Chains A and B, each alone.
Chain A
Amino acid sequence: GAVVSQHPSWVICKSGTSVKIECRSLDFQATTMFWYRQFPKQSLMLMATSNEGSKATYEQGVEKDKFLINHASLTLSTLTVTSAHPEDSSFYICSAYKSGTRADTQYFGPGTRLTVL
C-alpha cells in the first residue's frame, strides 16, 4: 500500500524559532498534499492544500506567512511554522493522494507533534 511519512515525528522548540516539517509520499507520486492541524480531543482542521509546482491554497483563518508550505516535488511537501509561539503547539498531519485519482485515495502521514516552549 501507499505510504506517507512525516519527519520529524515530534519536535520541541523555543518560542520565536522556526520549525520545518516534511511530508513524503514514499512509493507514489502526489500532485496534491494536504496539511491538517489537530488539537487535543478535537477534529482535524484542514490548513492548506499543497499543489506541486504552485502556491498552496490556504483555508480561511490560516496565516500564509506563519505557515509556509512548499511542494517542490511530487513526493515532498514541507510545512514551516515560522516564529513559533506556544499557541502553535499542536499535532500536524499531512496526507497525499496519488496523482490522477480522487481524494478518496488519500493516505495520511503519522503526524508531527510540535511543542513550543
Chain B
Amino acid sequence: DGGITQSPKYLFRKEGQNVTLSCEQNLNHDAMYWYRQDPGQGLRLIYYSQIVNDFQKGDIAEGYSVSREKKESFPLTVTSAQKNPTAFYLCASSFYKREQFFGPGTRLTVL
C-alpha cells in the first residue's frame, strides 16, 4: 500500500522544547517537502529536498530544521526558536516535474 505517512497525528509541546515530526514515503519519489498551514490560510513552504543529503529553505524556514539521510524519510524538527509553532504541518513528495502527493498532516499545539 503506497503512500505518505506522517506521525504523530497530534503533538503537544511545551514552550522551549524541540519536537520532531516524522514523514515517510514509499512512492520512490525523489523530492520531499514540508508545509505549514495556519487556520483559514493556504500552505506555506518550510523546506524542500530534491535529493538525499540535500535540502533548501522555503519561505518560512526560520526556527525549523530538516534532514534527508534516506530517500524515504524527511523529518522536520520544530525548534524552540520558532516563536509561533502551533499549526498544521503537511509533508509532500513528488517525482521530477510531477504533481505533489500530500500526507495526512500533523497538528502541533504548543501548551
Are A and B co-members of a single complex?
no
